Chains A and B, each alone.
Chain A
Amino acid sequence: MKFGFTSINSKGWTAIDCSDGSSLCAVSLKTAVRADERPQVLAVAEVAGPGVDPDAAALRDLMAQVDRSLPVLMTLARTQYRLRVMPEPAVPQREMLASLRWSLATESDGPLEDFNLAWMRIPTEEQMPARPRQLYVVMAPTAWLTARLAAWRQTGMKPRVVDIRETALRNIAGVLERPGEGLALVSVDAEGVGMTFTHQGSLYLDRYIEQPLAELRASDPAARVQLHERIALQLLRSIDVIGRSYPFMPITRVVVAPAPEALGLLEFLSAQLPLTVEPLDLSRVFDLSKVPALAQSPALQARCLVPLGAALRSAKVAA
């Protein structure tokens, strides 16, 4: 996968993930590597604490364990932003944000001036020129984001980028893609199960099933099987949607990311789906030689999946 946009950084990132879970996670990733090398994970850290609103001590503790010389990137918790698909306004790119803001304001009761917006296309113009164009719009409350930035800066952190989880997972799925195929990446975190569908590195579809891991852990085997069936059904429906909406990107593989706990999802999907289901081997995407703890812990890999994917934003890598 190649990232065509020029990034504001070419050395690497220290990515901090503020999730909805009970921990903070940070990774330092060196992306300035030779063409035949993988991005190298320099450091990884996880500290306990509220991910959405971490205290200063937890942040300082986290930053003490990673590379502070790299620019900082933050990924927001899923509850702190909204991601939606909209028709692409027929306006010049420089006017896109204003047009989207106006379009969203006409659908909303409240003013949209208080939201930070970002957008990205769902590329279909080459394969389906006649299809109306669509794009993803990300909305984050400005007041909350401003307060968070101020709090982060008080701890010595000055984030240069604020990203979201879907694009972070998209980056990893994009690395795993083979030429011409569509890929489904299934990931499990503390709050649910996500499905990311990509083609040529771009995000085409995203699904998220809210299912707190704590409930699943406490459930009986029958309830766990029900959850697995629910995930499989949603996956098949999504693949069907992809097949009808984007016939140029057939989903032929499903990659299951490491889970915080051994839930048996990979085995269930491999047995039930008429598709190739593979486990995600992070060492194919990243050089983990400097972080053996990460290389040996699927749970830590599951926790660090989003910051690792977010830190790939300036990388030019091919799996």
Chain B
Amino acid sequence: MTTPVTHINLLQRTAPAHSVGWALMALLALTVVGSGYYGSSVRAQAQEAMRLRDDVAQQLKDVQARIGVQSGAQAKSTQATALRQEVDALQAQSQAAQALIDAVRTAEGGRSDDFARALTAMAGLKEPGLWLNSLTVSAGGKRLEVQGEASNGASVLRYARRANESLQPLTLRLDSLDLQPAAGGAASGAGTGAVSFRLY
């Protein structure tokens, strides 16, 4: 076994000071390279963060838009619900009215038009101190009877005269009057002239 021959070269760097200098240069170079790499990494992370921020902002806008749409739909839904409830309520009233009409039609043998016209004519009459208790149309709309109470007899007479004027187009006429002191009005009408009446 032979020992390898050593070849010398005096150009080789040998001074420790130079080694330290080169080491510092190498460290500086590594620092610069590392800083550049780290800086690029930081920039990349910053750009990624900015992109993420923009994405989140866009998502937030989308969510807000969807919330707005849903709020509008909800509001519309609320209005629809209210309308539905109103419709339901009106339906109930309509059904009640229809039931009343049916009942009247049944009671009057299908002559609800005569009753309506008579009622309309009587409803337009207003006489202070006089109120009606019942209104009856019978005989196929040929006969009308009204019962009520009044604070005095003069009011009943004025009401009878005006009712006949209103009923004249309907070829109806109230030409009979029963007038008597109000029976239940003793407490409230005694000494005041209150009367109950029946016009037919």
Are A117 and B6 within 8 A (Cβ)? no
Whether A3 contacts B11 in the complex (CB less than 8 A), given A101-B16, A201-B2, comes out as no
Are B1 and A126 within 8 A (Cβ)? yes
Are A126 and B3 within 8 A (Cβ)? yes
Which residues from B are CB-within-8-Å of A118? 8-10, 12, 14
Closest residue of chain A to B10 (Cβ to Cβ) is A162
Which residues from B are CB-within-8-Å of A145? 10
Are A159 and B7 within 8 A (Cβ)? no
Are B5 and A4 within 8 A (Cβ)? yes
Which residues from B are CB-within-8-Å of A125? 3
**Chain A positions 51-104 with a Cβ under 8 Å from a chain B Cβ:** 76, 81, 97-98, 101
Are B10 and A81 within 8 A (Cβ)? yes
Shortest Cβ gap from B22 to chain A (Å): 14
Are B5 and A138 within 8 A (Cβ)? no
Q: How far is the CA of A246 from the CA of B17 in the complex (A)?
A: 38
A226 adjacent to chain B (CB < 8 Å): no
B4 adjacent to chain A (CB < 8 Å): yes
Closest residue of chain B to A314 (Cβ to Cβ) is B7
B187 adjacent to chain A (CB < 8 Å): no
Selected from B3, B9, B15, B17, the residue in CB contact (under 8 A) with A163 is B9
At the interface, is chain A mostly helix, strand, loop or mixed? mixed
Closest residue of chain B to A114 (Cβ to Cβ) is B15
A119 adjacent to chain B (CB < 8 Å): yes
Closest residue of chain A to B19 (Cβ to Cβ) is A98
**Chain A positions 189-237 with a Cβ under 8 Å from a chain B Cβ:** 200-202
Are A167 and B3 within 8 A (Cβ)? no
**Chain A positions 166-184 with a Cβ under 8 Å from a chain B Cβ:** 167, 174
Are A97 and B14 within 8 A (Cβ)? yes
Which residues from B are CB-within-8-Å of A5? 4-7
Are B14 and A2 within 8 A (Cβ)? no
Are B15 and A142 within 8 A (Cβ)? yes
Whether A313 contacts B7 in the complex (CB less than 8 A), given A101-B16, A113-B15, comes out as yes
Which residues from A are CB-within-8-Å of B17? 113
Q: How far is the CA of A117 from the CA of B11 in the complex (A)?
A: 9
Are A167 and B10 within 8 A (Cβ)? no
User: Which bucket holds chain A's interface residue count?
Assistant: 35 or more
A161 adjacent to chain B (CB < 8 Å): yes
Are B6 and A120 within 8 A (Cβ)? yes
Q: How far is the CA of A115 from the CA of B13 in the complex (A)?
A: 10
Chain A 134-151, CB-CB to B under 8 Å as 1, else 0, gives 000010101001000100
Are A120 and B8 within 8 A (Cβ)? yes
Q: How far is the CA of A3 from the CA of B4 in the complex (A)?
A: 6
Are A159 and B4 within 8 A (Cβ)? no
Selected from B1, B3, B6, B14, the residue in CB contact (under 8 A) with A116 is B14
Q: How far is the CA of A80 from the CA of B12 in the complex (A)?
A: 17
Closest residue of chain B to A159 (Cβ to Cβ) is B11
Closest residue of chain A to B6 (Cβ to Cβ) is A120
Are A117 and B3 within 8 A (Cβ)? no
Are A3 and B16 within 8 A (Cβ)? no
Q: How far is the CA of A120 from the CA of B9 in the complex (A)?
A: 10
**Chain B positions 42-60 with a Cβ under 8 Å from a chain A Cβ:** none
Which residues from A are CB-within-8-Å of B8? 118-120, 138, 163-164, 167
Q: How far is the CA of A125 from the CA of B4 in the complex (A)?
A: 13
Which residues from A are CB-within-8-Å of B5? 1-5, 174, 201-202
Shortest Cβ gap from B149 to chain A (Å): 132
Whether A140 contacts B6 in the complex (CB less than 8 A), given A101-B16, A113-B15, A113-B17, comes out as no
Other than the given A138-B8, A145-B10, 12 more pairs (CB < 8 A) read A1-B5, A2-B2, A3-B7, A4-B5, A81-B10, A116-B15, A118-B9, A118-B10, A119-B8, A162-B9, A163-B8, A163-B10
Q: List 11 A-B contacts (CB under 8 A).
A: A1-B5, A4-B5, A5-B4, A113-B15, A119-B8, A126-B3, A140-B10, A149-B11, A163-B10, A200-B2, A201-B5
Q: Rank and list the top 10 A-B pairs by shortest CB-CB distance, nearest first.
A: A4-B4, A120-B6, A118-B8, A123-B3, A162-B10, A201-B5, A117-B14, A200-B2, A313-B7, A116-B10
